[in-house]
Structure 1
Amino acid sequence: MSMEEVLGSIKGTRDSLSVRRSYGDPFELDGVTVIPVARVAGGAGGGGGEGGDSEGASGGGFGTGFGINVNPVGVYEVRGDRVEWKPNVDVNKLLRGSQVLAGIIVVCITLVALVRSR
């Protein structure tokens, strides 16, 4: 890989994690300006290599990788001189949380009943 390719890759990575990923392009809907907002996370890694373990084996190797995760978190609504934050509610997370809470309550009630029965 040439130095130009490496620098091009770094520039592409930098562009992937720019503020435009977090704040989308504003658009207007029914007289309200909407600005989408997202949580952005990225990571990269690399590898390497050398000669083989056995005699006469040729060696080599190398690898790189990059990943990005974008999750919508809400929008800003701009009406005249008023700005309002509207969070994106993940119903699945709410349901999971309530299921965990219900499970904890059932376990606690069962333990209290067992202790009282002795």
Structure 2
Amino acid sequence: MNFNEVISNARDSLTVKRVYGDPYEKDGLTVIPAASVRGGAGGGSGHDEKGQEGGGGGFGVNARPAGAYVIKDGDVSWRPALDVNRLIAATGLAVIVYLISRPRMARARAKSSESPSES
């Protein structure tokens, strides 16, 4: 696969259909799912002193649910998606920061409770 083929495949992969899904309609309610899509491609070619040529390329796509547009009675609203993995990671990080900083906070409280006349 040459670089032009990689770029062509990348262009085909990053279409609006990857960001917005097909609308779902039921009982007068329309839901249009949306995603956050990121991608990248790269490649190159060259030759050595013997005249041999070579090349390569690569492409990657990352997509995450972002939310959905909800249409009801002519009103449109945005409903963000809840990323449970990100929520768990943020909670875990907050707990780790608290546990690491707890001894420092205790030392600071102990120092502040000492009065200047006792020193």
TM-score bracket, normalised by the shorter chain, equals 0.7 to 0.9
Q: Deviations over 1:20-62 (max 9, x none)?
A: 211112121333111010111111111223126xxxx562211
Number of residue pairs the alignment of both structures matches: 111
RMSD of aligned residue pairs (Cα, Å): 2.7
Q: TM-score, normalised by structure 2?
A: 0.75
Distance 1:80 1:27 in 2: 15
Q: Which residue of 2 aligns with 1:46?
A: 43
Structure-2 residue corresponding to 1:67? 60
Greater relative contact order (Cα < 8 A, sep 6+): 2
Identify, as 1 or 2, the structure richer in strand.
2
What is the CA-CA distance between 1:111 and the residue it aligns to?
Answer: 1.0
- Give 2:19's match in structure 1, choosing from 22, 25, 48: 22
1:32 is matched with which residue?
29
The TM-score normalised by the length of structure 1 is 0.76
